[in-house]
Amino acid sequence: MTATTAAADSRMTVRQVEFAYPAAMQGHWNPGKPEFSHIVNAGSLAMPYLEPFLIKTMRAARPLIRDPALQADLDNYIRQEATHYKQHRVFNDELKARGYRAIDAIEAKLAREYAELESTRSLAFNVAYAEGFESTALAIGQMLIEDREYLFGDSESGVASLVLWHFVEEIEHKNVTYDVFEHLHSNYFRRVYGLLYALTHIFLLTRGNYQALLKEDGLWHNWRSRITLLLLIGRIFRKITPRLLRILVPGYNPRQVADPPWALLWTKLFARDRSALRLDTRRLNASEPIPLAAPHLAGTP
């Protein structure tokens, strides 16, 4: 890794964060989009299992790395991911408190899936899986930020802020697992296989999770809700597919992907005042993040 690359990666920051969820919040934390609420809920339920798997994989790979700059990046990556899954666990407990009976079975399945990957797959496979997930997360993060007003507008600020903060940090550490993979393996076909496997595995798990939650709410067999869900998924895939296809190009490097200006502005705001962590979801259409109850940070009237 060059000195230039290491300097660019030093912007990775481990932030201490907390998100509050009002007692009145329902599982449909975006009342206008219950289907999207459950897609996000389904993804959140996976985080306390997926992200510890990524951490264990990267820790197992670390002794094989001889580049001190990459080791430092990897250590910060692990700290960020640990913060992510701990915050998602808090939110998931809030979902449980709303009475969703399906969550226990969902979590048991997720625990089995990632325990099996950890125990039966090689380190080389798991590193490729980790890079496949992180490449996917970069694409998802860019899509969520680009479409933030449509997806999160007028939703519960705590949940919207949790999800967008998480993916801003996914964008921030976008190159780390790629660098680890290239350092240890540097094989195009293995990288693409890891991407396709991780993408399929994660999307199928997420689908099963949101299907269970929608069934419990009586929405899965509601034809209006099903049409809304299909249209929403179509919108998401129209926006994410070009970003996923670029990962398949030989010579792809996540550093080629420009960071969204909105994400960079949010990290600067948060560095100045931690209250900027909570977003005003009524004003997500702005070109810069506007914190809830802290308009002075963004220079708004």
Radius of gyration of the chain (CA): 19
Q: ∠ at Cα 287 (286, 292), nearest 5°? A: 45
Contact call for residues 213 and 41 (beta carbons, < 8 A) = yes
**The predicted structure's pLDDT at residue 12:** 85
Domains of the chain from N-terminus onward: 31-259 (1.10.620.20), 262-301 (no CATH)
**The predicted structure's pLDDT at residue 298:** 38
**The predicted structure's pLDDT at residue 294:** 54
Other residues' Cβ atoms within 10 Å of the Cβ of residue 110: 20
**The predicted structure's pLDDT at residue 68:** 96
d(CA 8, CA 253): 14
Give per-10-residue mean pLDDT for the chain (301 aa).
39 88 95 97 98 98 96 96 97 96 98 98 98 98 98 97 97 97 96 98 97 97 97 98 97 96 94 90 95 56 35
**The predicted structure's pLDDT at residue 274:** 83
**The predicted structure's pLDDT at residue 3:** 33
Output b/e per residue, 71-101; b: 16+ Cβ within 10 A. Answer: eebbbbbbbbbebbbebbeebbebbeeeebe
**The predicted structure's pLDDT at residue 6:** 39
**The predicted structure's pLDDT at residue 1:** 37
**The predicted structure's pLDDT at residue 222:** 97
